[in-house]
Amino acid sequence: MKIGVAGAGAMGTGIAQVAALAGHKVVVFDPFDNSLKRSATNLDNDFKKLVEKGKLDQAKAEAVRSNIIHAADLNSLAGCSLVIEAAVELLEVKKKLFADLESVVDPHCILATNTSSLSVISIAAACKHRGRVIGIHFFNPASIMPLVEIIPAFTTDESVPVSAKSLIDSWGKVTVMAKDTPGFIVNRIARPFYGEAIKIYEEGVASFADIDHAMRSIGGFRMGPFELMDLIGNDINFSVTETVWKQMFNDPRYRPSITQQRLFEAGLFGRKSGRGYYDYSEGAAKAESTADDLRLQYIFSRILCMLINEAADALYLGIASRDDIETAMTKGVNYPKGLLKWADEIGINKVCDTINKLHGDYQDDRYRTSLLLKKMASENARFFS
């Protein structure tokens, strides 16, 4: 089976590697020569590293690498069974690309987008055969992150998500099904991890180091919110937050923060720029937490309850199934536990009490308890038996 990848950037190159390792012939299309060259070099280096680490032998690495072809001509994608688009995140570029692709590939070819922030249907709208268009959303780096969100749009034919899921599963990835809504599963449910953390900081309740320490030491998260935003990049994280908020028609739950906007405006993107919430320059002192146990517990419980509320609401609104929500958050962003399982452990009544108290204090719709949690609390129900 021949697989096409349109867009030879970070994601397209990673996806090409995954598909080739699964035994496919892969054509990577990009109209820009410099992108094609960079992608080819990065793949050469990646395969070299796989051999050095003993994950592939030399002969196999060469065979797999030779199955990936780079092309600046869209016609090279003819004969593909699936084309995954990973071009720049601009709707007009993607729409034109999809419309052009339709004139190159055969009628049964599935056209997938790896978009993070656009709706799948807005891209499908450019196609004559919208039924074949679907979202297949990999996480960065695509060669390492196990999770892939499969996102059928309103117009996607029923057979397409089934074929897409079984193919991507066969590539060794863990797939979850998501509705075509802003942020899909992970980028929607994870918002309070960042947003509530920044709000706690803005209120002067705690420092970045306190909040990070609380989430690591009590919650068992590998990184705290500020460390993670500095790793992801405040430019990228701010843009995802802003996009989700705008697409949710300014729902206060997803409201971006002035603090992160200022960091973004100042170019304080985090590790990659040498400074974000923390200073990464040579010899800079490491910020330490000074909060007592009571404060750490308050921080942890406020952020965790907001995350659980978001997960419960995603389930209530049919964004994804219970099990897929748990898988998405543990495999896509490495949460130590599924949020719904965590809710059962804490007690759904307690989660509701925490959010109701915040709502009472702030009189802000940001703190509205999911109807599902309210209903479950009144019935003394659990997510898992």
Ligand X SMILES: NC(=O)c1ccc[n+]([C@@H]2O[C@H](COP(=O)([O-])OP(=O)(O)OC[C@H]3O[C@@H](n4cnc5c(N)ncnc54)[C@H](O)[C@@H]3O)[C@@H](O)[C@H]2O)c1
Stretch near ligand X under the rule CB under 6 A, chosen from 9-17, 268-276, 340-348, 377-385: 9-17
The interface with ligand X within residues 65-94 (CB under 6 A) comprises 86-89, 93
Residue 336's region, left for phi above 0, alpha for psi from -120 to 50, else beta, is alpha
CB of 13 to ligand X, least distance (A): 8
Active-site residue (options: 149, 196, 227, 326): 149
CB of 185 to ligand X, least distance (A): 13
- With a CB cutoff of 8 Å and minimum separation 6, the contacts of 77 are 4, 6, 27, 29, 71, 83, 101, 104, 105
CB of 356 to ligand X, least distance (A): 35
Phi, psi angle pair for 145, to nearest 5°: -70, 125
CB of 116 to ligand X, least distance (A): 4
Stretch near ligand X under the rule CB under 6 A, chosen from 10-18, 48-56, 192-200, 334-342: 10-18
CB of 16 to ligand X, least distance (A): 11
Active-site residue (options: 187, 207, 289, 309): 187
- With a CB cutoff of 8 Å and minimum separation 6, the contacts of 284 are 278
In the complex with ligand X, the residue whose CB is nearer, 74 or 263, is: 74
The interface with ligand X within residues 29-68 (CB under 6 A) comprises 30-32, 35
Phi, psi angle pair for 318, to nearest 5°: 70, 25
In the complex with ligand X, the residue whose CB is nearer, 114 or 354, is: 114
CB of 230 to ligand X, least distance (A): 15
The interface with ligand X within residues 202-231 (CB under 6 A) comprises none
Size of the site for ligand X (CB under 6 A): 23
The interface with ligand X within residues 114-133 (CB under 6 A) comprises 114-116
The residue among 181, 191, 164, 178 whose CA lies nearest residue 119 is 181
Candidate list 140, 159, 349, 378; residue touching ligand X; CB under 6 A: 140
CA trace torsion 167, 20, 28, 186 (10° rounding): 50
Residue 10 touching ligand X (CB under 6 A): yes
The interface with ligand X within residues 162-181 (CB under 6 A) comprises none
Residue nearest to ligand X (CB): 9
Active-site residue (options: 137, 196, 234, 289): 137
Q: How far is the C-alpha of 298 from the C-alpha of 354, rounded, in Å?
A: 10
The residue among 116, 125, 140 whose CA lies nearest residue 188 is 116
The residue among 156, 92, 86 whose CA lies nearest residue 123 is 92
Is-catalytic flag, 149? Answer: yes
In the complex with ligand X, the residue whose CB is nearer, 31 or 274, is: 31
Candidate list 3, 4, 5, 6; residue touching ligand X; CB under 6 A: 6
What six digits make up the tokens of 23? 């035994």
In the complex with ligand X, the residue whose CB is nearer, 29 or 208, is: 29
Is-catalytic flag, 116? Answer: yes
Q: Do 208 and 287 form a contact (C-beta atoms < 8 A)?
A: yes
What six digits make up the tokens of 101? 């692709």
Is-catalytic flag, 227? Answer: no
CB of 1 to ligand X, least distance (A): 21
H or E stretch including 121?
Answer: helix 120-124
Candidate list 2, 5, 12, 183; residue touching ligand X; CB under 6 A: 12
Residue 152 touching ligand X (CB under 6 A): no
Strands 25-29 and 133-138: unpaired
Instruction: Say whether the peptide bond before residue 146 is cis (omega within 30 degrees of 0).
Output: no
Residue 234 touching ligand X (CB under 6 A): no
Task: Give the residue ranges of DSSP H helices in 5-73.
Answer: 10-21, 33-52, 58-66
Say which DSSP state 89 is in: S
Q: At what angle do helices 293-316 and 322-332 cross, to 10 degrees?
A: 130
In the complex with ligand X, the residue whose CB is nearer, 184 or 383, is: 184
Residues that are catalytic:
116, 137, 149, 187
Residues that bind ligand X (CB under 6 A): 6-12, 30-32, 35, 86-89, 93, 97, 114-116, 138-140
